[in-house]
Amino acid sequence: MIAIAHAPPPHASRRADRLADLAVSALLDEAELTPKPGLVDRRGSGAHADLDLPTMRRSAHALRGAFAEMARAARGSRPADALRTTLGAIGREGEAAMLAATGGANAHRGAIWALGLLVAGAAIEGARGGPAAIAARAAELARCRDRLAPVPETNGARACARYGVRGARGEAASGFPHVVSCGHPALLRARARGAAEDDARLEALLAVMSTLDDTCLLHRGGPRALHVAQRGAAAALRAGGPGTAAGRAALLALDAELLALNVSPGGSADLLAAVLFLDGVGAELAPPRR
């Protein structure tokens, strides 16, 4: 693992552990959320032949150490190339742990990127930063250079090059707008209306899906799959959201369409996990209002 020059004080180590716990909880909560269109959930594997819910759980737990190490590395630092390089190395070790836990299946590669940056951003901000401030710090880190990073050859990178979309790197470098300005506000609005928590989380997912150029969809199904997902998510929201009969029917219809195309909005799922992480940080670690 990446060596840390000085042992952090106990309170800092506890905070790093807590941030890691919140990141893992966000991944678990996203995986368990049901019904999600085209995604692994409690009903089954969705459009993923190599994934199921137990695999997603193992992957999430395998990443706890990497998230905690990222938080410790970032504490007391500022966004810079050196820190970005350290975080990248930790993230790649986390990816290896994920692949070992899943038997080689890519359960959370995109989430390691998004949540890793946000965990580091939260560690830099300390208790003074809300979701927007944490996302802004994460964006600064995303714009820094990882001098040890290999040339990206992921499916997402290929989709970005082919279709001219920003992808996960562009989302992060822009401050996670689909998290801070779309998914999280949708979650809070649904709660304010009295929606059940699972329905509020599904509404946040649909809000992200309705506008995100999801590279997972583009890679597996091209523009048609992206259009089906964005149109269907928007229709479910217009129908009243997952907490209404019409909205739930529209959500399930979208699920059937995505399964027929054998595609999954994995990028949107990663950003939902980011929404849930920032929501958890705001609820548990922000200073109390006076």
- The 10s digit of each residue's pLDDT in 238-272 is 999 999 999 999 999 999 999 999 999 999 999 99
pLDDT for 10 equals 59
Q: What percent of the chain has pLDDT over 70?
A: 93
The stretch 274-287 carries a mean pLDDT of 84
CA quadruple 107, 109, 115, 119: dihedral sign = positive
Residue 91 lies in a domain: yes
Q: What share of the chain is helix, strand, coil (3-state, %, to 5)?
A: 70, 0, 30
Would you say 5 and 73 are in contact if contact means Cβ atoms under 8 Å apart?
no
> Residues 56-95: pLDDT tens digits?
999 999 999 999 999 999 999 999 999 999 999 999 999 9
Q: Each residue of 25-46: pLDDT tens digit? A: 999 999 999 999 999 999 999 9
Phi/psi of residue 41, nearest 5 degrees: -155, -165
In angstroms, the CA 246 to CA 249 distance is: 5
Closest to 111 measured CA to CA, from 69, 159, 172 = 172
CA-based nearest residue to 138, from 85, 174, 182, 166: 174
290, part of any domain: no
Mapped onto helix, strand or coil, the DSSP state of residue 240 is coil
Residue 111: domain span: 11-146+155-280
Indicate whether 3 belongs to any domain.
no
**Count of structural domains, the chain:** 1
147: burial class by Cβ within 10 Å (0-12, 13-18, 19+)?
A: exposed
Domain contains 176: yes
Q: Is 32 a domain residue?
A: yes
Instruction: Tell me whether the omega of the peptide bond preceding residue 37 falls within 30 degrees of 0, making it cis.
Output: no
Average pLDDT, rounded, for the chain: 93
Query: What is the number of alpha carbons within 13 Å of residue 155 lying toward its C-beta?
Result: 14
Closest C-alpha among 152, 159, 25, 13 to residue 95: 152
pLDDT of residue 284: 76
CA distances from 152 to 11, 87, 158, 159 (A): 37, 16, 9, 12
Three-class DSSP category at 288: coil
Contact 199, 190 (CB under 8 A): yes
Looking up tokens 């003074």 gives 128
Evaluate whether residue 266 is within a structural domain.
yes
Is 2 inside any structural domain? Answer: no
Residue 286 falls within a domain, yes or no? no
CA separation, residue 260 to residues 178, 195, 253 (Å): 26, 30, 11
Q: What per-residue string of b and e applies to 46-77 under the rule 16 or more CB within 10 Å gives b? A: bbbeebbbebbbbbbebbbebbbbbbbbbbee
- The pLDDT of residue 286: 47
pTM for this model (two decimals) = 0.93
Higher pLDDT, 160 or 11: 160
